[in-house]
Structure 1
Amino acid sequence: MKLVHLLGLGAFALGLDAYVTAGLLPVIADDFGTSVSATGQMVTAFTLAYAIASPVFATLLSASRVRLGLLASLAVFTLANAGSALSGSLGVLLVTRAFAGVGAGLYLALAAAAAASLVDERRRGRALAVIMGGMSSGTVIGVPIGVFIAQHSDWRTTLWLVSAIGLVSFAGLAARLPALPAAASVTLRQRAQVVADPRVASIVGVSFLAAVASLGLYTYIAPVMGTRAMGGVDDITPYLWAWGIGGVLGSILIGPLVDRVRRPATLVVGILTLLTLALAVLRPVASVEPLLALLPIAVWGAVGWALQVPQQNDLLLARGERGGPVAVALNESALYLGSAVGSGLGGVAFSLGWSGSVLPLCAAGAALLALLLQLTAVRATGKRLPAAQTAGAPLLQEACE
């Protein structure tokens, strides 16, 4: 599991990088003399590059070069963040953020598949939880630290911190990660079949809708909690910590549950039910006492992050070594696209003059759609593909431990 934790360290850097930049927008805009809206395109560049790179490069990567892909993607991510720290104009920054998104998208997909491969099947859930725990820890621990550093130094120092963490993970993996046995050769046509697999499409669709609800709403948690209907919260920090701590606990504790439950897909039903309820009760609870909203927000963060561990496990079981990495990469893209769509819809709602207090109910609606899809399409396609479960052999041999 030591190698899995090194992979998790790289995921920590990704989690920090993906979320800290939003908090640095005003500072960067002042530094470059541009508007916040223009500078905000750095987030768009990272997100779109991540969403596109994850499935495309995972598909094109040779099955015999998983180790090389891991190291190369982490190197690109680390160097791109160093380039962002050194950028002298907004144009250069946008380009380097796009390269950082490319490296992040490919690394996380390969890291999830490799982590599952480096342990036996009984510990696969725990290994995947380490990767998601690294991502969520990068958010709850790394982002406040990164913003604090930027406030007391400058935004470039924060990006140097991301580069340093990425470099440590790269050095450890380069020194200790063994040559991974090649997976079975997969043609481009077979890879395309992964995307067309109705079970994969259903699982990824659930992830997309859940991201619209969870990550999309998180973008606007400050203005939402600041509305009169939500109690007019001025200091959003405790609520961000509640969401983040819940995310860390959820992504870590879900691993043993995935290993114990015989049908992880059924676990997703419970997770989505909790997500829907947490979002639905957020407004009525906050209207009574804003501090009471800390509980549903913590549950929201916990189940939102926990969801992806059984989702990734189910994708690996469904496609096995021939299509597992591609399916996981597609799922990661769905998360980022869902986040972008949720954020975009929230922005439209604000531009139309809607109160921010309505957004939690809209997010609950998206979560409910995800739950309905899980109860119908995912279960139905799962029953029609019993052979897929037998294809879920470890992607690589246990000897790699």
Structure 2
Amino acid sequence: MRNVFLLAIGMFTLGFDAYIVAGLLPDMSATFHISDSQSGQAVSIFTLCYALAAPIFATLLAGKPIRTVLVLAFAVFTVANGASALATNYSFLLISRAAAGIGAGLFSPLASTAAASLVAEQKRGRALGITLGGMSIGTVMGVPLGLIVANEVGWQGAFWIIAVMGFITTIGMMIFFPDFSTEAPPSLRQRVAMMTNKNVLAIIGITFLASIASLGLYTYIASVLKNLEGIHSITPYLWAWALGGVIGSLSIGNFIDRTGRPALLMVGILAILSVGMFSLPYALAFPIFAYFPIFIWGAMGWASVAPQQHALLHTQPRHGKVAVALNSSANYLGGAIGAALGGMAMAQGLSSSHLPFAAGFLVFIALLGQWIILRKQND
């Protein structure tokens, strides 16, 4: 299991990097003299390249030794984060974030495949849980930890820390990781072919809409909070979101096992998430009450991932790995588009304090779509 934990550390670093920029937006905006909506595109381009890199580069590198590809992916990711720390202008920052997203997108699906291949069949669930858990914990804790780091060493220092973590992980894989053959990650052709299945497309569409709302809004959470009166420090609220995310992602599996109805659970999750987002601007008028909707947002946003994966595995038992990987791409692609749309809306004059209403409306649309899916299953 040592190598599985090594993969989990790598996945934690990727998740940490994916959304740490959301907590650094105000400082980055001040450095480059740009708006928060512009600096938020650094999140968009990372997550967009993350979502697209996996199928494209998996096809190009198919058949290569797994250790070689993992080391190459993390080396690209590490160097790109060092370049982000050294960025002297906004354009160079975007280029470096795109390169980091490509490295992350190549590493992530291959790490999951490798984790399942490193252990006996009866331990594969645990190995995958550890590996994917590293990603989710890194993602939900990226913003609050990023703020703490930025306050101490600046936003450039935050990227240097990620680069150091990446360097250590890369060296660890070069020294300790075994060189073996395994099944290649899903190819571009496999993912495109999967989109012709209506059931898969419907499930992934819900994931896509929910991630536009939840992860897209999360990109601007620092801006949303700082624009509201009565909040002197946003860090406690970010920890509330992170705590909700950890609890939601780790506990939802038990509910799935007990009910055996992921589609019904997804209806409840989306309903609660929409209420939480619509109530957020009102709750923030009373800072002490604001923790609850933010906690609910984090918990429900991350709890929505597992039911979708379970539904896809049930729908496509022979091609479950491809379907789940496609769902992961849709999740991060939705986050990228959500960040881009949020930035465009703010650039057109929409106040960041109104973004939760737009996000809540998208979740409500996803809820209606999920209700239709549930009704068809019951017919």
Give the TM bin, normalised by the shorter chain: 0.7 to 0.9
Residue aligning to 1:387? none
Name the residue aligned to 1:9.
Answer: 9
Report the alpha carbon displacement of residue 355 of structure 1 after superposing the two structures with TM. Answer: 5.2
Q: Deviations over 1:322-364 (max 9, x none)?
A: 562x434433332233223333443454455555554333322
**CA offset at residue 117 of structure 1?**
5.4
**Is 2:263 the partner of 1:274?**
no
Match of 1:392 in 2: none
CA shift, 1:174, in A, is 4.3
Q: Do residues 233 (structure 1) and 231 (structure 2) align?
A: yes
Closer, same or farther in 2 for the Cα pair 1:250/1:119, shift >3 Å? Answer: farther
Q: Could you tell me which amino acid in structure 2 is paired with residue 362 of structure 1?
A: A
State the match for 1:294 in structure 2. Answer: 291
2:252 matched to which residue of 1? 254
- Distance of 1:309 and 1:333 partners within structure 2: 14
Matched, 1:365 2:361: yes
Query: Match of 1:398?
Result: none
Letter of the aligned partner of 1:370 in structure 2? A
Partner of 1:49: 49
Distance across 2 between alignment mates of 1:383 and 1:121: 34
Taking the TM superposition and a 5 Å limit, the aligned residue runs for 1:117-156 are 127-156=127-156
CA contact (8 A) 2:113 2:183 kept: no
User: Counterpart of 2:94?
Assistant: 94
Task: Give the partner amino acid of 1:79.
Answer: V
1:147-195 Cα distance to aligned partner (Å, 9 max, x none): 4334333433322211222233334444554455543898865553123
The corresponding residue for 1:331 is 327
The one-letter code of the counterpart of 1:245 is L
Given the alignment of the two structures, is residue 73 of structure 1 paired with residue 73 of structure 2, yes or no? yes
Q: Kindly tell me: are residues 309 and 251 of structure 1, through their superposed partners in 2, closer, same or farther at Cα, counting changes over 3 Å?
A: same
TM-score (norm 1): 0.77
Aligned length: 378
Are the aligned partners of 1:225 and 1:232 in contact in 2 as well (CA < 8 Å)? no
Structure 2 distance, partners of 1:290, 1:340, is 29
Mapped contact 1:208–1:335 kept (Cα < 8 A): yes
Q: How far off is 1:244 after superposition?
A: 1.2
**In structure 2, how many angstroms separate the alpha carbons of the residues matched to 1:149 and 1:185?**
34
Q: What's 2:201 paired with?
A: 201
Q: What SS is found at the alignment partner of 2:290?
A: helix
Q: Which of 302, 308, 312 is equivalent to 1:311?
A: 308
Give me the CA root mean square deviation: 3.7
Pairing of 1:178-197 with structure 2 (within 5 A): 178-179=178-179, 181-183=181-183, 189-197=189-197
Worse overlay, 217-226 or 50-59: 217-226
* Secondary structure, counterpart of 2:233 in structure 1: coil
Secondary structure of 2:62 counterpart:
coil
TM-score (norm. length: structure 2): 0.81
Structure 1: tracts of 5 or more residues without a match: 385-401
Task: Give the percent of matched residue pairs that are identical in Structure 1 and Structure 2.
Answer: 47
Partner of 2:168: 168
Which has the larger displacement, 97-106 or 137-146? 137-146
Pairwise CA distance, 1:35: 3.6
Conserved 8 A contact 1:63-1:186: no
Secondary structure, counterpart of 1:233 in structure 2: coil
| Closer/same/farther in 2, CA of residues 29 and 207 from structure 1, 3 Å limit | same
Letter in 2 for 1:194: M
CA distance in 2, matches of 1:43, 1:333: 15
Runs of 5+ in structure 2 lacking a partner?
A: none
Alpha-carbon distance between aligned partners in 2 of 1:73 and 1:82, rounded to the nearest angstrom: 15
State the match for 1:210 in structure 2: 210
Of 335, 340, 348, the match for 2:336: 340
- On the 8 A contact 2:41/2:339 being kept in 1, the answer is no
* In structure 1, distance between residues paired with 2:317 and 2:343: 39
Corresponding residue SS for 1:297? helix
Separation (CA, whole Å) in 2 of partners of 1:4 and 1:383: 40
Q: Report the counterpart of residue 390 of structure 1 in structure 2.
A: none
Question: Kindly tell me: are residues 332 and 191 of structure 1, through their superposed partners in 2, closer, same or farther at Cα, counting changes over 3 Å?
Answer: closer
Post-superposition shift, 1:312?
3.3
Measured in 2, the distance between the counterparts of 1:264 and 1:123 equals: 23
Does structure 1 retain, via aligned residues, the 8 Å contact 2:58–2:187?
Answer: no
